[in-house]
């Protein structure tokens, strides 16, 4: 009987897609299925988002998770430094314990600032990666090109660490040949 119920649940997930995954995630986090604490707040404009139901669900689940984990926090305290990526699945919404919740910037990233109620621009994503506006004149690129460039790039500090690791790798062919 239990196996049949699991199979039925898996079939429902396949047919319902992200909605089933969202309900499963809400249940796992203890968030009621109809709770929309963030997107229905007065003044929330969701600037830069396409206002899809899936993106709204992501933001509501992330906000509700933090609110339920910290019931004494005010709205202002919750949204301060709270970031999300509503281009991802609801299942990937950061748990309340994670500090930043940004993750890896990809070409499809829609990094959303709850505090500013806006999606960070492609130029902003490049700045997060450490790009200097004098190195690549960003006025030559449109928004999608900047996002793509940010998603395909590696941040400056990480690139420097990778270069050091490769240069001083004692197992590298160039290192062995020099000895």
- Determine if the pTM surpasses 0.85: no
Per-residue pLDDT at 55: 92
pLDDT in tens, 154-167: 777 778 887 887 77
**Are 122 and 151 spatial neighbours (Cβ–Cβ below 8 Å)?**
no
pLDDT in tens, 62-114: 999 889 989 999 999 999 988 888 988 888 777 665 555 566 788 888 889 99
């Amino acid at each position: 009987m239990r196996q049949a119920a699991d199979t039925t649940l898996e079939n429902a997930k396949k047919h319902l897609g992200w909605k089933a995954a969202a309900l499963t995630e809400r249940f796992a986090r203890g968030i009621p299925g109809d709770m929309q604490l963030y997107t229905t707040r007065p003044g929330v404009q969701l600037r830069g988002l396409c206002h899809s139901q899936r993106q709204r669900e992501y933001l509501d689940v992330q906000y509700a998770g933090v609110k339920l984990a910290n019931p004494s926090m005010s709205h202002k305290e919750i949204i301060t430094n709270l970031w999300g990526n509503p281009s991802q699945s609801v299942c990937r919404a950061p748990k309340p314990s994670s500090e930043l919740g940004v993750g890896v910037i990809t070409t499809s990233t829609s990094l959303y600032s709850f505090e500013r109620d806006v999606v960070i621009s492609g130029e902003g994503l490049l700045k997060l990666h450490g790009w200097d506006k004098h190195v690549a004149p960003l006025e030559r690129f449109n928004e999608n090109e900047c996002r793509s460039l940010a998603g395909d790039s590696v941040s400056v500090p990480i690139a420097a660490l990778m270069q050091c690791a490769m240069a001083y790798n004692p197992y590298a062919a160039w290192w062995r040949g020099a000895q």
